[in-house]
Structure 1
Amino acid sequence: MNYINEIERIGGGEKKNDEDEGKWRRGEEGVDEMDYFALPRSFGLGMLFTDRFPDLNRRADSNRQMISQQRKEQELHVVSEDCTTKKKLNQDKDVMGEVTRTHEALQSLDKTISTLQMELAVSRSSRELTGSNGSPVITASSQQKKKAFIVIGINTAFSSRKRRDSVRDTWMPQGEKLKELEREKGIVIRFMIGHSATANSILDRAIDSEEEQHNDFLRLVRAFSHYLSKKASMPRFFINNIHEYDQDHVEGYHELSAKTKIFFSTAVTLWDAEFYVKVDDDVHVNLGTLAATLSRHRSKPRVYIGCMKSGPVLSNKNVKYHEPEYWKFGEEGNKYFRHATGQIYAISKDLATFISINQPILHKYANEDVSLGAWFIGLEVEHIDDRNMCCGTPPDCEWKAQAGNVCVASFDWSCSGICKSVERIKDVHARCGEGDGAVWGALF
């Protein structure tokens, strides 16, 4: 027990009791007495575990491989799900695309059928003009109708020379540019006008002189008489439709419904166009935007496009838009059915052909825009309300143009056209116009 005495000597402490002695005894090297017994045991256990390390390592490796495999499987599952989701989305897109293409194909087929039906109706009506031997009553040289995309008729009057010049100076091309627009883009533009109540009056001669200068009129006169007076051969399409077409229009404010009917009948006989547009001579038009707008509807068979409205039926005789047949529209205070406002609207070929075929029995109301709407109300016609065709003058159309939404047409509702259009249309064109090159660069 020398080491115990030595501890007591060094520490100066008292001798511990036997219990403490058995618990902790320290030798000269600072090792617990109990550690001498623990070391062999630890060594034995170490050897035991060392002998088992290979198994543990193998198990650990196996566990790591299993975890790694599970992670890979989870990643593959996620990727698989992602691929499946993307595939499903692509399939959904393909299905929607196929539905859209099918819908467009059906619309195109519907349009083709409608066109054939109209041509059949024209063919039937033309047989009424053939002689007993099956040949036309009037013989003349054959001429095909000119193909076009849009035919635009600008409604004008004898007294509106300044308005016409203001239109020519702004949105309507002149001379060779007008002809080029027809050749390159299929857009035909004409001022439409009838004749005066007095034959060969000074008013008619003034229009003749203006026509020689600009060559941009569509004269709504008797077709047969007009061709004879010009010593021109009558086209076969006039012959085939002579009973519908050989009529003229006497200019007058209260004859606008008749003028509209004759314009569409005349235009559809002269040009084989996809759309026919009527616009007033005090309205500003962006031709490129108009063409782009109509091109979005070219696959549809019967479309009627404009700013749709439903105004009150006016029974008071002393107001401007008095409707003498107000009683047909129900009780006092009722409104008209939806129809395009008269400043500008467009109809597809089938509807123009319908007007031409049925012209004699189409009823004319006091207001020409109401009359046109009435002719279509009982037909399978798609009414398209496009508010871009009735923008206000600056600042309204200017703000829209700056925002990238160029208007098709601009006018003032308060004046049913541009107020003081001769003085103001140039300013409207400068601030709301699409640019002179827009129609030439447009794809439609």
Structure 2
Amino acid sequence: MSFKSKTEQSSRSFVSKKWTFLLCLSCFCAGILFTNRMVAVPESKAIMRTTAVEAEKLKLISEGCNLKAKGEKHVSKDIIGEVFKTHHAIQTLDKTISNLEMELAAARAAQESLHGGSPLSEDVSRVGSSRKRKYLMVIGINTAFSSRKRRDSVRATWMPQGEKRKKLEDEKGIIVRFVIGHSATSGGILDRAIEAEDKKHGDFLRLDHVEGYLELSAKTKIYFATSVALWDADFYVKVDDDVHVNIATLGETLVRHRKNPRVYIGCMKSGPVLSQKGVRYHEPEHWKFGETGNKYFRHATGQLYAISKDLASYISINQ
């Protein structure tokens, strides 16, 4: 009996230890699982909260950048607008000054011609009413007393005559005249020949100037001053009487530069300096241009060129 009771007691003790071990193991696993779950939830919430805060900060920073960029763009537009306004104001002021200079030159030329009793006063009285009209260009054909054949060639080719020339002036705003002064002997045979030719064709602009080969520069300046006094044009053209002009092409070229101030349109040229005596176009002062074989510096040719009204007015004031 005692042996049996001991066996039952030991089996009960064994069972109770086994269940105790399993229970402890289960509690331990449950504790680990519960602890991990409790720790993971706050971490995820913290991560989510941190992510949301950082996103908000990034949003604020990006909005700040956008505001700064927009502000800089607005400031740059304001600066560009002010630059354009200033440039426009300068152009307007420059045009006003040019117009005042032109009016001053015209008034001065008219006053001098009236006081001096030169033939210019007759031209002023003849075209005084036309000064209210705005012309595109005045073409002055530089000619001499001995160039009658050249003038006839120009009349027969590109220079309209009679009513056609008047129509060109009225409809196209283009005035064409032969430009010539007077001989050293006033009222001599040369002057009478030009007067008879002018009476026949009516296409001369007589200058208060004594003709001479060495006075061509002075003649050109007087032509510009006289033209500014007689006609209000955008351009004043000087052309030699041995040059044939396509008026339509010339007009199209000048119109493209109508709004530009202080315009010179012409041809540039250069060439060798001829030091050998006896050849055509021999340069007596060739030594001024350096060694033999050198070229002239690039310069404007005088056969055909046009200048704008403000330049012609400047020449008239400062001749």
Q: TM-score over 0.5 for the alignment?
A: yes
Structural RMSD (CA)? 4.7
Task: Quote how far apart the aligned CAs of 1:271 are.
Answer: 0.9
Identity of paired residues, percent? Answer: 36
Q: Is the CA contact 2:270–2:296 (under 8 Å) kept in the aligned structure 1? A: yes
- Identify the match of residue 94 of structure 1 among 75, 81, 98: 81
Task: Quote how far apart the aligned CAs of 1:69 are.
Answer: 0.8
Q: Counterpart in 1 of 2:55?
A: 68
Task: Quote how far apart the aligned CAs of 1:278 are.
Answer: 1.1
SS state at 1:144 partner: helix
Alignment of 1:75-90 (within 5 A): 75-90=62-77
CA distance in 2, matches of 1:206, 1:123: 25
CA distance in 1, matches of 2:52, 2:112: 88
SS state at 1:282 partner: coil
SS state at 1:343 partner: strand
CA distance in 2, matches of 1:35, 1:177: 129
Task: Quote how far apart the aligned CAs of 1:304 are.
Answer: 4.5
Distance 1:105 1:82, change over 3 A: same
Alignment of 1:20-169 (within 5 A): 40-52=27-39, 54-112=41-99, 114-115=101-102, 117-118=104-105, 121-122=108-109, 125=112, 128-129=115-116, 143-146=128-131, 147=133, 148-155=135-142, 157-160=147-150, 161-167=152-158
Long gaps (5+) in structure 1: 1-33, 131-135, 222-244, 359-374, 376-444
Deviations for 1:52-91, whole angstroms, at most 9, x for unmatched residues?
A: 5553343233122112212312321332243234224323
Q: Counterpart in 2 of 1:290?
A: 254
Q: Is the CA contact 2:178–2:205 (under 8 Å) kept in the aligned structure 1? A: no
SS state at 2:149 partner: coil
Deviations for 1:102-124, whole angstroms, at most 9, x for unmatched residues?
A: 43244234424534553564476
Q: Counterpart in 2 of 1:389?
A: none
Distance 1:38 1:84, change over 3 A: farther
SS state at 1:152 partner: strand
SS state at 1:159 partner: helix
Distance 1:182 1:120, change over 3 A: closer
CA distance in 2, matches of 1:141, 1:342: 30
CA distance in 2, matches of 1:246, 1:64: 94
Q: Is the CA contact 1:312–1:333 (under 8 Å) kept in the aligned structure 2? A: no
Long gaps (5+) in structure 2: 1-20, 184-188
Alignment of 1:31-430 (within 5 A): 40-52=27-39, 54-112=41-99, 114-115=101-102, 117-118=104-105, 121-122=108-109, 125=112, 128-129=115-116, 143-146=128-131, 147=133, 148-155=135-142, 157-160=147-150, 161-167=152-158, 179=166, 182-183=169-170, 186-192=173-179, 198=190, 211=201, 217=203, 219-221=204-206, 245-246=207-208, 256-257=216-217, 260-261=220-221, 263-280=223-240, 281-284=243-246, 285-297=249-261, 300=262, 304-308=264-268, 318-321=278-281, 332-333=288-289, 339-349=299-309, 351-353=311-313
Return the structure number with greater helix share.
Answer: 2
Deviations for 1:326-370, whole angstroms, at most 9, x for unmatched residues?
A: 5xxx95336878752112222344554565677xxxxxxxxxxxx
